Chains A and B, each alone.
Chain A
């Protein structure tokens, strides 16, 4: 038809997945621990529209509007952005590290960020005003610093060798985890707060958080999409990529930078939410194929969708008690992944 194969595929997949995301967003806004009738939710959402909004006479308690606009809406937006960012970073890391077990945290971003975050909690930095920024900034720098260290170690042999990079990531990550344990041992009653942060939380802390993620997601997506053809080549191994004319050293460094910045931002905003960055890229690879030009945007949308659903479940399953979202991502994600894996593999074999 018109355009190359991947473009045709993208034109099919993008609208379909965006539609699913929109449905999930509406579900995420309509559902919560406080029960609101779907019709009321719809009307509350419509009041903000010009023309239509003026026709509606509010007949609902005032707190419902507050809950929709100030609690749920910012939260689903945050969930979408964090999920998309982690999924894209995960896709890039899996391609770059040529390893199906890789995720955004493989090179130690999460353990470095966690150690830094725990440090600020233990040493009791004020959590009001400008102090509120201390923990996310520390987490971001901790994650970034860890990867820079890992990169320095890996590059010391002259060339960026992927296996060295992974090994250095795991070793430095273990060291950072030990630091984290050390801070936990010192933490006293801060232990609770550290654990909560480790399990991840999408509690909205202000629009600054959202804009930072929008910026990092846009930047990361731009870099990774530009390099998506090189990513495709990298998957076949560095030698073949070089033979096919890709400047692999340059590509690897840029990908590493983009994926690390994205992961650092997601972790700074919402703690170390696991599983999204590992499973979403795999599921999408099974569903849309391995071409990164399709896979990266599809993963972004699916990551957002997945985290919105997981967070909605976290908010509603035991309402009014909230579950840590990290608990839900793994309990929902693991069986779903296995289901896709088995149902996709089966027909191929028979």
Chain B
């Protein structure tokens, strides 16, 4: 009980540190200045920036969260209609949904565009116009650190980036340091129902589950796949994690599926419904996701 209290306390302190860092980032480092950096992004493109970008458009809510955590909120001049974190993002001009058109982006006169792999059509058009575009698609905790590092480098806030990564790593160590090395909790990760979809190895959710001490029962396959219902029954996971979406109530749906009432997770009521915004946005808040998962895999008192 006391240990749990300490964890919460430490978590709060770390969060405060992140916010503090985010707040003073731009002040501690000069915002302008001559320099030249060359960045290779996840689309294997090499982008050279000659000045620190001052007008940044983000086409991915996950990257927007990274920009704000790096204290670059003031320099963001365009986001997508899906962006809702941090709350200040609501004041930013919207350049479109996840399939933002290039015209709306160009209208903001950006000197840097960051995008995810979902936006490749727009990215290709923008690159024709010589606007620097960086594409990042982090699919693991390590890749999130890498993305933060690269974006910090591109925007000239390397120090803030390093500090943010250190804070996240410290918190992760605290959360997962005492987890058992063997006998990990078998987990089924549901990413879609009707048909049933799960995620195998090589994805962000798999990595996060593994970090939080879970054992993905679909770890033998790769990527997002339509999965066999009877395999879930046979592998009998102790926890099922799923997300809300499209007005569905996943817990009721899971209980009613033929044969699923035999699954340990369903019998023990251990179906964990996660906030889709946390699940589908690899970024600074992913540590919070790990915390939620650790809490549901190893509830206080179990060990």
- Please give the residue numbers on chain A whose beta carbons come within 8 Å of chain B beta carbons, in ascending order: 32-34, 62-64, 66-67, 69-72, 74, 121, 124-129, 131, 188-190, 192-193, 196, 201, 203-205, 315, 319-324
Are A322 and B228 in contact, with the CB atoms below 8 A?
yes
Q: What CA separation (Å) do A72 and B233 show in the bound complex? A: 12
Assembly CA distance A32 to B259 (angstroms)? 15
Q: Is the CB of A127 within 8 A of B247?
A: yes
Q: How far, in Å, is A193 (CB) from chain B's closest CB?
A: 7
Once the chains bind, are B253 and A71 in contact (CB under 8 Å)? no
Q: State in angstroms the CA–CA spacing of A188 and B193 once bound together.
A: 16
A211–chain B nearest beta-carbon distance, Å: 16
B230 cross-chain contacts in A, Cβ below 8 A: 32-34, 67, 71-72
* With known contacts A74-B258, A128-B253, A192-B197, A67–B247 Cβ distance under 8 A: no
Known contacts A33-B231, A126-B247: A63-B194 contact under CB 8 Å: no
Q: Are A192 and B192 in contact (CB under 8 A)?
A: yes
Known: A63-B234, A124-B247, A320-B218. A71 touches B197 (CB 8 A): no
Q: Give chain B residues whose Cβ lies under 8 Å from the Cβ of A32.
A: 228, 230
With a cutoff of 8 Å between Cβ atoms, the chain B residues found around residue A321 in the complex are 221, 225-228
Cβ of B248 and Cβ of A127 under 8 Å apart?
Answer: yes
Interchain CB contact under 8 A, B227 and A320: yes
Q: Which residues on B sit within 8 Å (CB–CB) of A66?
A: 233, 259, 262
User: Which of B221, B252, B258 interacts with A204 by CB under 8 Å?
Assistant: B258
Q: Is B124 an interface residue (CB 8 A)?
A: no
User: Are B252 and A34 neighbours in the complex by a CB distance under 8 Å?
Assistant: no
16 A-B pairs (CB sep. < 8 Å): A33-B230, A33-B231, A62-B262, A63-B236, A63-B262, A66-B262, A67-B233, A71-B230, A127-B253, A190-B246, A193-B192, A196-B195, A319-B231, A320-B231, A322-B195, A322-B196
Is B180 among interface residues, defined by CB-CB distance under 8 A?
Answer: no
- B275 close to A (CB within 8 Å): no
Give the one of B196, B228, B245, B253 with max A CB within 10 A.
B228
Q: Does B166 contact A (CB under 8 A)?
A: no
- Cβ–Cβ < 8 Å partners of B234 in chain A: 34, 63-64, 67
Query: In the assembly, what is the distance between CA of A201 and CA of B196, in Å?
Result: 10
Interface of B is mostly: loop
Closest approach, in angstroms, between the C-beta of A267 and any C-beta of chain B?
A: 15
User: Among residues 171 to 201 in chain B, which have CB atoms less than 8 Å away from a CB atom of chain A?
Assistant: 192-197
Give, as a whole number of angstroms, the nearest-CB distance from B29 to chain A.
Answer: 37
Determine whether the beta carbon of A127 is less than 8 Å from that of B246: yes
B226 lies within 8 A of A323 (CB): yes
Please give me the residue from chain A that is nearest to B246 by CB atom.
Answer: A124
Contacts of B218 in A (CB 8 A): 320
A-B contact count (CB 8 A): 97
Contact flag A129-B226 (CB < 8 Å), given A66-B262, A203-B194, A204-B258: no
Docked complex Cα distance between A204 and B258 (Å): 8
The reply to whether B231 and A128 form a contact with Cβ atoms under 8 Å apart is no
Q: Determine the distance from Cα of A34 to Cα of B229 in the docked complex, in whole angstroms.
A: 10
A127: B residues at CB distance < 8 A: 193-194, 246-248, 253
| Cβ < 8 Å to A, chain B residues 193-252 | 193-197, 218, 220-221, 225-231, 233-234, 236, 245-249, 252
Bound Cα distance from A70 to B230, whole angstroms: 9
CB distance from A323 to the nearest CB of B (A): 7
B84: shortest Cβ distance to chain A, in Å?
14
Closest chain B residue to A122, Cβ basis: B246
Minimum CB–CB distance from A329 to chain B (whole Å) comes to 16
Say yes or no: A33-B228 contact (C-beta < 8 A), given A126-B249, A127-B253, A324-B195. Answer: yes
CA distance A315 to B226 in the complex (A): 10
Question: For the complex, what is the distance from the CA of A67 to the CA of B260, rounded to whole Å?
Answer: 9
Contact partners of A72 in chain B: CB under 8 A: 230
CA distance A131 to B236 in the complex (A): 28
Q: Give the chain B neighbours of A205 by CB distance below 8 A.
A: 194
CB distance from B270 to the nearest CB of A (A): 17
Bound together, the chains give a CA A69 to CA B234 distance in angstroms of 14
Q: Smallest Cβ distance from A186 to chain B, in angstroms? A: 9
A203 with B231: CB separation less than 8 A: no
Query: From residue A163, how far is it (CB to closest CB) to chain B in Å?
Result: 39
Compute how far the CA of A129 lies from the CA of B227 in the bound complex, rounded to whole angstroms. Answer: 23
Cβ–Cβ < 8 Å partners of B229 in chain A: 71, 203
User: What separation, in Å, do the CA atoms of A165 and B245 have in the docked complex?
Assistant: 41
User: Hey, which chain A residues are within 8 Å of B220, CB to CB?
Assistant: 320
Of A62, A74, A121, A315, the contact of B228 (CB 8 Å cutoff): A315
CB-based contact B194/A201 at 8 Å: yes
Cβ-defined contact, B245 with A189, below 8 A = yes
**Does B74 sit at the interface, judged by CB under 8 A?**
no
Q: A70-B259, A203-B229 are in contact. Are A320 and B221 (CB under 8 A)?
A: yes
The 8 closest A-B pairs by CB, nearest first: A70-B259, A33-B228, A70-B258, A320-B231, A66-B259, A34-B234, A67-B230, A321-B225
Residue of B nearest to A204 (CB): B258
